[in-house]
Structure 1
Amino acid sequence: MADPFSFELVSPERLLLSEPVLSVVVPGAEGEFTVLKNHAPFMSTIRPGIVTVTPVSGASQRYFIRGGFADVSPSGLTILAELAVPAESIDPALILKEIKDAEEDLADAKDDESRSVAAQKLSQLKEAQAALGQ
């Protein structure tokens, strides 16, 4: 069994979780990554998706997050999310609204760079929707 480490999940509204955990799977901008105790320090941006937390109690918890940063340090992992809510409390309408907004951003894009950014966000939101089983 893995050793516990300190984990905090913070959104602009509140601190959602602050406790010792065994592992955290994070949807990083460059792909998913798993953090365990003594992980090498680094920082990553986060794409919309599901953060899966395995607390010391063992029952996995899932949170939908929309963007932010993950900071892995010797003291543990901190995720600063633009939006973070427990996955089981996600209203499918929220994801649909986010997808609609991303589709509008894609349609309104004026250049290749903004089109690429909007298309990537739309793709990530659709992945999150599939991960939530919606």
Structure 2
Amino acid sequence: MQVKIINLEKIFYQNKVVSIVAPGLNGYFQILENHAPFISILKDGVLKLKPIYDRKDLEIKIEGGILQVKKNMVSIIL
């Protein structure tokens, strides 16, 4: 699935990933391919991405945001 992370200044990250683990208001949740349409508010924590072409996971410390899943496209606004 494609992920795009946007902050106030630019596109922070854009790539294909296998999974995303994100800090929601009620705890961490995971997004996998073919996930149902979904919108969540994110709280402070660590966003964990597993890139499809890289064996090393990517961890990004965030201070809240919004996450949307729609048709294997995940958009995250920080």
Same fold (TM over 0.5): yes
1:76 Cα deviation after fit = 1.5
CA distance in 2, matches of 1:58, 1:76: 21
- Structure 2 matches for 1:3-22, cutoff 5 A? 5-22=1-18
Aligned residue among 66, 69, 72 for 2:66: 69
Query: Structure 1 or 2: larger helix share?
Result: 1
CA distance in 2, matches of 1:13, 1:58: 28
Structure 1 stretches (4+) deviating beyond 3 angstroms? Answer: none
Who is 1:60 aligned against?
57
Kept after mapping to 1: 8 A contact 2:33/2:72: no
Question: Structure 2, unaligned stretches of length 5 or more?
Answer: none
Do structure 1's residue 51 and structure 2's residue 47 form an aligned pair?
A: yes
Paired-residue identity, % = 29
TM-score, normalisation: structure 1: 0.55
The one-letter code matched in structure 2 to 1:7 is V
* Structure possessing the higher radius of gyration over alpha carbons: 1
Question: Structure 1, unaligned stretches of length 5 or more?
Answer: 82-134
Kept after mapping to 1: 8 A contact 2:35/2:72: no
Query: Structure 1 or 2: larger strand share?
Result: 2
Report the aligned-residue RMSD. 0.9
- Structure 2 matches for 1:1-134, cutoff 5 A? 5-56=1-52, 57-81=54-78
TM-score, normalisation: structure 2: 0.93
